Structure 1
Amino acid sequence: MLADFARTGGVGVLKPGALLDDVSGILGPPVAADCFPNARKSWPRTFRYGELRLEVCRCRVIEVVALSTWTESVEIPAADGAVSAVVPTITFADVKEVFASAGARWELNEFPAVRSQFAALVELDPVGVRFTFHVPDTGATDQGGATLHTAISRSFGHVCGSGA
């Protein structure tokens, strides 16, 4: 599943650029997932399928796909109705192996002011994917034990043409 995310910026049909109506036809309707208690009902809106959050623009194009792995269980729905699970403690060393098996080119992006996290960036056209890792021991010299916190892909090319 993470290899698919590194190669395409999504999981199965859940990827930036896909139409929410097409995805709903395959996976059923999404769950509204607005993060704020009194969220406005305007666009863009946030939906989810399992642990995958989607940011969708007013023309119903998925612009962002976000996977959070910091929860106790991480479940992702598949088109065949099955649910796949991701181990929430996947490490940077594990993800580097996924990148290698997927043939994904990536680069490290460290945040000097924030020693407790760093990111690995995968640039796809027209999508960018950021895998952010949490460093449990900020004094460690090896980042291999850092755990995946989120994987977020964002479309760079969509310009909403909807007047809705």
Structure 2
Amino acid sequence: MALLRQVALPHLHDLVDRVRESVNLVVLAGTEARFIASVECDQVLRVGSREGRTLPAHLTSGGKAVLAALPPEEVAALYGGSDDVGLPRLRREPALVRKRGFAINDQRTETGLTALATAIRDASGAPVAAAAIAMPTARFHRDHVSGWVAALNRAVSRVEGELRSAA
């Protein structure tokens, strides 16, 4: 995890400079999304650092991105004993994330917060983390999504390339 964080941080800083919103690096810890790095933007109204926090993975954009990149049977095994999360929803939502190419959290974890995320994969294609752009919902506009996702994908691609080189 230390290597992932070390490799990702410069690219997260570049992403923040590009999109002018806060960015998080998230890993899956069971059914929780663990925030292992945060880079805040310099805007007065911004999403603060989530570093060190955990939230339900099925609600966060980063958690959803990682879950969508896992085989469905692995997701079912993770949530099999959970009464809180319905398996039909856990089948539908990852399919939508895969179709769109990104995950979204539209105020599911906190009122006034919207986030977009994509999975970071290792050389074998397995998800190891996700990068997420987090912003106040007041600045979220659907017509900017394609630009945000393109910037996010460039950053993720660079992180993946460096992780492959380091392996």
Query: What TM-score, normalized to structure 1?
Result: 0.31
Higher Rg: 1
Counting helix residues as a fraction of each chain, which structure ranks higher? 2
